[in-house]
């Protein structure tokens, strides 16, 4: 019984979901922690997908200035209510997003915010680089290289610097599941001396 309680506690810390949800997942999987974690991740995604159309008019402006005072970040993250905006979990999310942007230098929030001309140019560069490859594999190469481009330049597709097993998109979805409200990164700007 003590082992099960430890697993539930560990699941709760990892997912942010309720004790009852974690206990149910452990029971469903016969005590298998990894399977329970997968079930809870799926549930978190399902919860976040239900919230995706909810209007977000509240939130916070977050800021971060690196200790050397040469890098700074401003971000607007929105949620549905002032109650959630004042929640410590939400504040931590905003702070972590600022740190992510400072460290990883994303240019855009999501794939849809990449200007069409930049995306087109990137595709052409990749095709030119691999022009000797057969047409049948060229599309797969372009898709793979674009995936890498997104991981480097799109905030939501980047690996979370504090937990490289998840992306920023998955991190935000876990907070949506935990806080029960839709959350969106509205905009951000990153400053660096000399850029």
> What percentage of residues in the chain have a pLDDT greater than 70?
90
pTM, to two decimals: 0.73
Two tokens, residue 6: 């430890």
Give dist(CA 114, CA 106) in Å, integer. 11
Same domain for 105 and 139, yes or no, is no
Same domain for 160 and 176, yes or no, is yes
Q: Is the pLDDT of residue 172 over 70?
A: yes
Average pLDDT in the chain: 87
Same domain for 103 and 62, yes or no, is yes
Residue 3's pLDDT is 59
Range of lowest pLDDT (34-38, 50-54, 174-178) = 50-54
pLDDT confidence tier of residue 2, bands split at 50, 70 and 90: low
Q: Is the pLDDT of residue 44 over 70?
A: no
Same domain for 32 and 123, yes or no, is no
Given 3-state DSSP classes, what are the helix, strand and coil percentages for the chain, each rounded to the nearest 5?
A: 60, 20, 25
CA 179 from chain centre, in angstroms, equals: 15
Q: Is the pLDDT of residue 47 over 80?
A: no
Range of lowest pLDDT (11-20, 72-81, 138-147) = 11-20
Same domain for 9 and 62, yes or no, is no
Q: Is the pLDDT of residue 45 over 70?
A: no
Q: How many domains does the chain have?
A: 3
Same domain for 159 and 148, yes or no, is no
CA 140 from chain centre, in angstroms, equals: 25
Give the domain extent around 17: 2-51
Yes or no: say if 130 and 146 are a contact pair by the CB < 8 Å rule.
no
Two tokens, residue 66: 């690196």
Same domain for 38 and 71, yes or no, is no
Same domain for 69 and 104, yes or no, is yes
Residue 114's pLDDT is 95
Same domain for 96 and 122, yes or no, is no
Question: What CATH number is given to the structural domain containing 188?
Answer: 3.30.479.20
Same domain for 44 and 128, yes or no, is no
pLDDT confidence tier of residue 122, bands split at 50, 70 and 90: very high
pLDDT confidence tier of residue 149, bands split at 50, 70 and 90: very high
What letter would DSSP give residue 145? H
Residue 131's pLDDT is 83
Looking at per-residue confidence, does 162 or 36 come out higher?
162
Residue 23's pLDDT is 80
Same domain for 160 and 187, yes or no, is yes
Q: Give the residue from 59, 60, 143, 62 showing the smallest Cα distance to 102.
A: 62
Looking at per-residue confidence, does 77 or 38 come out higher?
77
Question: What CATH number is given to the structural domain containing 8?
Answer: 1.10.8.10
SS3 of residue 65 by DSSP: strand
Same domain for 17 and 76, yes or no, is no
């Amino acid at each position: 019984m003590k082992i099960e309680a430890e697993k539930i506690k560990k699941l709760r810390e990892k997912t942010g979901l309720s004790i009852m949800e974690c206990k149910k997942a452990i029971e469903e999987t016969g005590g298998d922690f990894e399977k329970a974690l997968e079930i809870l991740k799926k549930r978190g995604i399902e919860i976040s997908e239900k919230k995706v159309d909810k209007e977000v008019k509240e939130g916070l402006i977050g800021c971060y200035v690196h200790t050397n005072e040469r890098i700074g970040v401003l971000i607007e993250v929105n949620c549905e209510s002032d109650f959630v905006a004042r929640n410590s979990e939400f504040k931590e999310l905003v702070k972590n997003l600022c740190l992510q942007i400072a460290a990883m230098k994303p240019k855009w929030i999501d794939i849809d915010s990449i200007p069409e001309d930049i995306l087109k140019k990137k595709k052409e560069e990749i095709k030119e680089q691999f022009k000797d490859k057969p047409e049948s594999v060229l599309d797969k190469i372009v898709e793979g290289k674009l995936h890498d481009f997104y991981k480097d330049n799109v905030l939501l597709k980047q690996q979370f610097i504090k937990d490289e097993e998840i992306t920023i998109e998955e991190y935000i979805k876990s907070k949506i599941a935990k806080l029960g409200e839709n959350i969106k990164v509205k905009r951000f700007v990153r400053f660096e001396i000399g850029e």
